[in-house]
Amino acid sequence: MLYIVVLFQAILKTLKILLMLGHKVTKFFMCRCSNYSMLPDGLLLKGMKHVASLGGMVYVHAENDTLIQQLVEDFQLEGRNDAQVFLDSHPEYSELEAVKRFIFLASLVPNCTAHICHLSIAKRSASFKRGTKPWNSKRYC
């Protein structure tokens, strides 16, 4: 599947053209990931409204950037740079907080179809599927 990655506000202006050309999915990053920068919540919400108005779908990589970056800095100060540091700097709570925040933001855009990419907190995902307001399985994957 082809999707558009929104890294900054300027790309929002081109979304209409891209969606008309067949790109129906727009991906947002709530944290720094690989070479992608995080999108502030205000721009994420603005982008979700824009994508929804164009009939597109929003994908999100949901992790709390500030929680992760603090752990990364702490581990760097300790001199740690082993592979385990990556796992230790991405605890479940950093994803859980971001997922809940994304669901809240998506509830502010009732016509937004949303998908949380590669959810890794399986033991907590059942609570999302059960559906407390504003969760709606027709709007979220």
Cβ–Cβ contacts within 10 Å for residue 107, how many? 15
The model carries a pTM of 0.78
Q: What is the pLDDT of residues 40-58, one digit of tens each?
A: 899 899 889 988 988 889 9
pLDDT for residue 20: 77
Quote the pLDDT of residue 141. 47
Q: What is the pLDDT of residue 107?
A: 92
The span from the CA of 110 to the CA of 105, in Å, is 10
Give the pLDDT score at 117: 85
50, 83 in Cβ contact below 8 A?
A: no
Closest residue by Cα to residue 113 from 26, 29, 52: 52
What per-residue confidence (pLDDT) applies to 126? 58
Q: What angle do CA 116, 118, 124 make, to 5 degrees?
A: 75
Query: What stretch of H or E contains 20?
Result: helix 15-20
DSSP-derived secondary structure letter, 70: H
Residues 6+ positions from 88 with CB-CB distance below 8 Å: 71, 75
Position 76 scores a pLDDT of 94
DSSP 59-123: EEE---HHHHHHHHHHHHHTT--SHHHHHHTS-HHHHHHHHHHHHHHHHTSTT-EEEETT---HH
pLDDT value at residue 2: 52
For the chain (141 residues), the mean pLDDT of every run of 10, in chain order, is 57 75 83 76 90 89 91 95 90 92 92 87 61 46 47
User: Do you find a cis peptide bond into 91, omega within 30 degrees of 0?
Assistant: no
